[in-house]
């Protein structure tokens, strides 16, 4: 099991899939150029996938972004045994209490085996079907997509931080959504989904600033001591 998007990973935009209402759709048509959150799931799994889909949806609701105007949400089935009926049942069971505008901007997608396998291959997603348990063993995570479907960020799928998710989506939009404050935070601090908003570059800069400050203080004390030593040694 693995979820490791390769460099340049992209959700194939023209794949022919079906939404929970049985309509033929493509990822590109659903995104309309907007950034998206994407979760891959087994729509008959209630132990992990159902709660994970609900967690992702609630985190998105708490970002303060406008569903359908700033961002869309996608969930794609792991296997072809899931159809519109399973997608519709999963969406109703785990997203039923969310605002109507978020539900309208959330699409549960199914399709034949070939396009679903193409999705997983493109995103570096590896799952394994356990025939004895009749379910998939698979990783979980939230993929943040740019408006053209490229993977921008991979976030924790079970405990996503709404603030980090918001900044990841603002970043994926290249500043077209969010506030000036969001863009300033990204510009000044960067984004490290695993450890908050300070990224490695900023941490190194802060460390270097501390070193330079301490070095300057040490040099000042050394010069002061040099000035005092000659006078103190006179008989």
DSSP 8-state code for residue 195: T
Estimate the crossing angle of helix 162-172 against helix 180-189, to 10 degrees. 90
Per CATH, is 2-189 categorized as 3.40.50.620?
Answer: no
The helix (H) or strand (E) run that includes residue 97 is none
For 26-73, the pLDDT digits (tens) are 999 999 999 999 999 999 998 899 999 999 999 999 999 999 999 999
For 164-213, the pLDDT digits (tens) are 999 999 989 875 655 555 455 545 545 555 444 434 444 444 455 555 56
What the block records as the tokens of 20 is 């929970």
Domain range list for the chain: 2-189, 200-230
For 5-28, the pLDDT digits (tens) are 999 999 999 999 999 999 999 999
For 92-146, the pLDDT digits (tens) are 999 988 999 999 999 999 999 999 999 999 999 998 888 887 888 888 999 999 9
Instruction: Work out the burial of residue 177: count CB atoms within 10 Å of its CB; fewer than 13 is exposed, 13-18 middle, 19 or more buried.
Output: buried
Query: Which pLDDT belongs to residue 196?
Result: 42
How far is 9 from 167, CA to CA, in rounded Å? 20
What is the phi/psi pair of residue 108, to 5°? -100, 120
Estimate the crossing angle of helix 162-172 against helix 49-61, to 10 degrees. 70
């Amino acid at each position: 099991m693995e979820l490791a998007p390769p460099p340049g990973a992209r959700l194939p935009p023209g794949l022919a899939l079906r939404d929970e209402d049985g309509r033929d759709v493509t990822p590109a048509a659903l995104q309309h150029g907007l950034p998206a959150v994407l979760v891959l799931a087994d729509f008959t799994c209630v132990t992990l996938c159902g709660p994970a889909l609900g967690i992702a949806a609630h985190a998105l609701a708490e970002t303060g972004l406008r569903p359908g105007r700033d961002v869309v949400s996608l969930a794609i089935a792991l296997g072809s045994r899931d159809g519109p009926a399973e997608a519709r049942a999963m969406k109703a069971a785990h997203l039923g209490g969310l605002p109507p505008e978020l539900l309208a901007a959330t699409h549960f997608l199914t399709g034949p085996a070939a396009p679903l396998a193409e999705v997983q291959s493109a995103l570096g997603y590896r799952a394994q079907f356990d025939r004895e348990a009749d379910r998939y063993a698979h990783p979980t995570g939230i993929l943040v997509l740019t408006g053209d479907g490229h993977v921008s960020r991979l976030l924790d799928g079970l405990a996503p931080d709404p603030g980090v998710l918001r900044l990841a989506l603002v970043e994926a939009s290249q500043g077209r959504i969010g506030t000036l404050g969001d863009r300033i935070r990204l510009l000044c601090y960067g984004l490290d989904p695993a450890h908050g908003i300070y990224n490695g570059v900023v941490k190194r800069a802060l460390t270097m600033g501390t070193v330079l400050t301490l070095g300057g203080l040490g040099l000042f004390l050394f010069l002061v001591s040099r000035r005092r030593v000659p006078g103190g040694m006179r008989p």
